[in-house]
Amino acid sequence: MKLLAALAVLTFCAAAIPVRAQDPAQKKADAEQKAMRIVQSLQYQTGEITLLDGKAKIKLTDDFKFLDPANARKVLVDLWRNPPGAGSVTGMIVPKGFLVTDGWAAVLQWSDVGYVKDSDYDGIDFQKMLDQLKEKNVEESKNREAAGYGPMLLTGWATAPHYDKQSHKLYWAKSFDVKRSEQALNYDIRVLGRSGVMELSMLAGMSELAEIEAKVPAILGMVDFTDGNRYTDFKPGTDKVAAYGIAGLIAGGVLAKAGFFKVIFLFAAKFFKVIIVAAVALFAGLAKLFGKKKSA
């Protein structure tokens, strides 16, 4: 995973180099300086964070930090080289020891779809849903390749979907095969509210599944809606109701492209490395910038 994340940064470095002829050593120095300026400019927050004009909040434990939308964009778009649209997020929750070249992060996004009814949960056939998602994913993967990104093929549930009817919080994880890379992990949490859903998408590799699952209970406890905005505050006949239920949330809003692609594209920089293999030798010293030794 360390190599994969470092390669994502290398993609940024390669893209930042002018086309004109330049001494290799100078190219390396310029790329390192630009990456360092971005890393050093990141401003982390701790403690209690208010979101969505007071509609939701995060009570961070000492093990986590928060990046607001502007700082999250620097990581997702400027360093990890995701498409510009991936920067339209509510923020990022990261582990205390987070490094942009190593580790995982939870990306927050707000979806104002309305009140999502949960009455369908007990009747969901998750194996049938997985089969349908796999069929849909084959076509989506082709579209990713056409857009210049590596293919990502859904292989199964890394963690089966689970919904807590008391807290109205849902989580599940999917695994993906990625060409010439570590198997990708797509770990999702949904916090249901009165007028919409707070989405948390974990960016990671399968090697980090155990670590993330150990942190999920803490993350579930940190993110919630405020008084008057919780799921139980819903007013029938007055409040907006979503067009789908729990099954739709897991499937990506009834397989809506805006939701499904948005999550998957966030992984592009961490698992797509075809175009930057040649840059590894040129920027071998980049690891020194972050105080890490090169993995064997």
Overall average pLDDT of the 145-172 stretch: 90
Superfamily of domain 2-289: Mog1/PsbP, alpha/beta/alpha sandwich (3.40.1000.10)
pLDDT in tens, 178-201: 776 667 888 999 999 999 999 999
Taking alpha carbons only, the member of 126, 69, 92 closest to residue 201 is 92
Overall average pLDDT of the 37-57 stretch: 94
Q: Which helix (H) or strand (E) holds 92?
A: strand 91-95
Instruction: Give the torsion sign (CA, 238, 239, 243, 244).
Output: negative
**Residue 97, pLDDT score:** 85
Domain spans, the chain: 2-289
| pLDDT above 70 for 67 | yes
Overall average pLDDT of the 53-76 stretch: 94
Name the band, by pLDDT with cuts 50, 70 and 90, for residue 14.
very low
pLDDT in tens, 70-96: 999 988 888 877 777 766 899 999 998
Q: What is the chain's percent helix, strand, coil content, to nearest 5?
A: 40, 25, 30
Place of tokens 């690891």: 287
Overall average pLDDT of the 221-243 stretch: 97
Lowest mean pLDDT among 13-22, 51-60, 99-108, 170-179: 13-22
Name the band, by pLDDT with cuts 50, 70 and 90, for residue 21.
low
| CA angle 117–120–124, rounded 5-degree value | 140
Taking alpha carbons only, the member of 104, 196, 212, 227 closest to residue 158 is 212
